[in-house]
Amino acid sequence: MNKGILSFLLFSFSLLAGQQKPVQIAFLSDVHFQDLYGSFSDHDFEGIVNPKNGKSTILRTMDSQLRSTRVFNENYFAFLKALDDIAAKGIKIVAMPGDFSDDGQAYNLRGLHKILDQYHRKYGIKFYLTPGNHDPVGPFRNDGGKDDFLGKEGRPLGIYSKEHIGKSVDKIITKDIAESGYLEILNELKGFGFYPQKEDLFWSTPFDHVSFKNYSYKKALQSAEYSRRMYDVAKGFSVPDLSYVAEPVKGVWMIAIDGNTYIPKNINESPQNTSNYKGAAIGYNNVLTNKKHLIQWVKKLADEAKRINKTLIAFTHYPMIDFNDGAGHDIKNVLGEKKWQLERVPQEDVAKVFAEAGLQIHFAGHMHINDTGIRKFGDHFLVNVQVPSLAAYLPGYKILTLTSPDKMEVQTEVLYNVPHFDDLFPLYEKEYHALEKEDRNIIWNREILKAKSYHEFMLFHLQELVRLRMIPDDWSEDFIKKGRMLNGKDLLLLVQGSNSSMDTDEFRDWTFDDLLFDLYKFQSADELAKKDIPAKRWQQYQILIRLFDHNESKDPFIIQLKSVFRILSLLSSGDPSDHFEIDFKKQEIKRL
């Protein structure tokens, strides 16, 4: 029999037998869950009462949200909305590629456990989690807390795991706000991928050597124990690795890669010093140097999967491919080496190593962006799908549909409307009035409380984030000062001169700040950002992109502007990232 026909028949039998539709997997990344209605095990504080619904609520301030790359509060409602959508679509498998919590505090982990368990029991959804750099923050439990919870009368409240570690005068002490380590996360969430379940057809870790043929649930349970999942990240420093592979339905292997690499700051310190570990935010670049066993493990799985006709789906918190659509050089030209989170861009060797190990598709989070990256190395082909965050613009998740042995479909589901997203607005009003009394120079824009949808709210969040953090932190003061003197018409005249045959007045409708805001929209949402930019302005951007590209001026400011428009061009014209089909045989993707 022809090998291609045999492969198709095996795939069809293993994936579609007894099912009404192809296998679908939803990917929810960077949920950053915080339990608004949780409680502490050792303190009676339950939050402040919301006058809108009478509920006691544990929330962070709006001021803190608008200076962060994520919201801390409204994402609670977005998470429930996404799960409701997934349940309504009949999807039974959900993968969560890290940052499912916001620093792994015990009360948040309990709240997350409760919600996942509810959806599993009610809808039969299986959840498969892998950790991110916020769960855990470090390999072992560490004391911590936040200065920016909302207290009475709208003022900040500190909540800490012990005395003398925060700066707030008004404070609460509870062990449940400490940053959990791997052990605590494993114990609380073991039922969501980190331990085998009886219904899994296969489950394994990088540290056991059981083949699919010799698999047993009893042996897998033993392999899942915390003490059996340790490796030396450096000589004398043994830390956990919660990677695993699971087969939730016949024929599909989901590889949950724990990409966290916690390297000691000082090798002369004690391994038990919980504060002596660097953060894991750099991602796969550190895997290549300090966590190499994962590469061999992936290759072993890929080889076995090929031999017994399993389809591999990998997911990790961290991207495997550059997510800036090739704009890195121009970003460095305008902003510098360490801006725009360039330190988080994976080296090209990351994609090469894992593609050659046998991976073809990989889902990632971490960056809170919508993006698709493709790499080809000889006969090897790898697609990295960046899953947007529910806690940032553009809020959404991905659905993967396995359509045939050689083809998969990826669709982006954007959360435009979320029930109860505005429930906390009365509490923010109190906060705003308290800030007014302090007569602070920089204060968040109260107009955000007029948002009519979650999409509008998150777009406003991005706008304030750009104003309050991104521009001050990333851009030179001189460049911004010069730029803010220009509108669209000024930019057109600057690049083309006064001999333009176009109606230059039409370009006057937008400002330099509008341009930067739109740039960040594309950084976050990729091609989907076009829906949030006026069509006429987008046409004018394209004209300016062409004009600046052909401009040969040696003026430093114009050279910088040229890079800005090249960044805009590259971010807006990358590989399909909304709804697309991957053809692994042809090694290409196409928009649907």
Q: Is the pLDDT of residue 14 over 60?
A: no
Q: Give the pLDDT confidence score for residue 549 in this predicted structure.
A: 95
| Inter-residue contact 576 to 398 (CB < 8 Å) | no
| Inter-residue contact 313 to 25 (CB < 8 Å) | yes
Residue 18: band (very low, low, confident or very high) from pLDDT cuts 50, 70, 90: very low
The gap between the terminal CA atoms of the chain, to the nearest Å, is 33
Q: What are 464-517's pLDDT values in tens digits? A: 999 999 999 999 999 999 999 999 999 999 998 766 667 788 999 999 999 999
Task: Give 262 or 168, the one with higher predicted confidence.
Answer: 262
Q: Give the pLDDT confidence score for residue 408 in this predicted structure.
A: 97
Percent of the chain with pLDDT over 90: 90
- pTM score of the predicted model: 0.95
Q: Give the pLDDT confidence score for residue 504 in this predicted structure.
A: 82
CA-based nearest residue to 515, from 463, 477, 557: 463
Q: What are 51-60's pLDDT values in tens digits? A: 999 999 999 9
Q: What are 340-375's pLDDT values in tens digits? A: 999 999 999 999 999 999 999 999 999 999 999 999
Q: Give the pLDDT confidence score for residue 17 in this predicted structure.
A: 46
Cα 293 to Cα 243, 290, 296, 314, distances in angstroms:
11, 9, 5, 16
The pair phi, psi for residue 252, each rounded to 5°, is -120, 120
Average pLDDT rounded to a whole number, residues 306-321: 97
Average pLDDT rounded to a whole number, residues 22-31: 97
Q: What is the mean pLDDT of the chain?
A: 94
**HSE-up of residue 152 (Cα within 13 Å, Cβ side):** 6
Q: Give the pLDDT confidence score for residue 2 in this predicted structure.
A: 55
Average pLDDT rounded to a whole number, residues 452-463: 98
| Inter-residue contact 174 to 45 (CB < 8 Å) | yes
Average pLDDT rounded to a whole number, residues 137-154: 95
Q: What are 65-105's pLDDT values in tens digits? A: 999 999 999 999 999 999 999 999 999 999 999 999 999 99
Average pLDDT rounded to a whole number, residues 406-425: 98
Here the contacts of 459-462 (C-beta below 8 Å, separation 24 or greater) are 459/393, 459/521, 459/532, 461/65, 461/66, 461/71, 461/392, 461/393, 462/392, 462/393, 462/517, 462/520, 462/521, 462/524
Strand order, beta sheet including 407-414: 126-130, 93-97, 24-27, 396-402, 407-414, 579-583, 588-591
Contacts of 495 (CB under 8 A, 6+ apart): 544, 547, 548, 551, 558, 561
**HSE-up of residue 62 (Cα within 13 Å, Cβ side):** 26
CA-based nearest residue to 353, from 299, 286, 314, 281: 299
Q: Give the pLDDT confidence score for residue 503 in this predicted structure.
A: 76
Distance CA 375, CA 188 (A): 37
Q: What are 161-177's pLDDT values in tens digits? A: 999 898 888 999 999 99
Distance CA 148, CA 91 (A): 37
Residue 50: band (very low, low, confident or very high) from pLDDT cuts 50, 70, 90: very high
CA-based nearest residue to 359, from 311, 402, 302: 302
For the record, the structure tokens of 65 come out as 């949200």
Residue 579: band (very low, low, confident or very high) from pLDDT cuts 50, 70, 90: very high
CA-based nearest residue to 306, from 242, 253, 346: 253
For the record, the structure tokens of 436 come out as 């007014």
Residue 443: band (very low, low, confident or very high) from pLDDT cuts 50, 70, 90: confident
Bridge-based pairing of strands 361-364 and 311-315 is parallel
Distance CA 312, CA 310 (A): 6
Percent of the chain with pLDDT over 70: 95
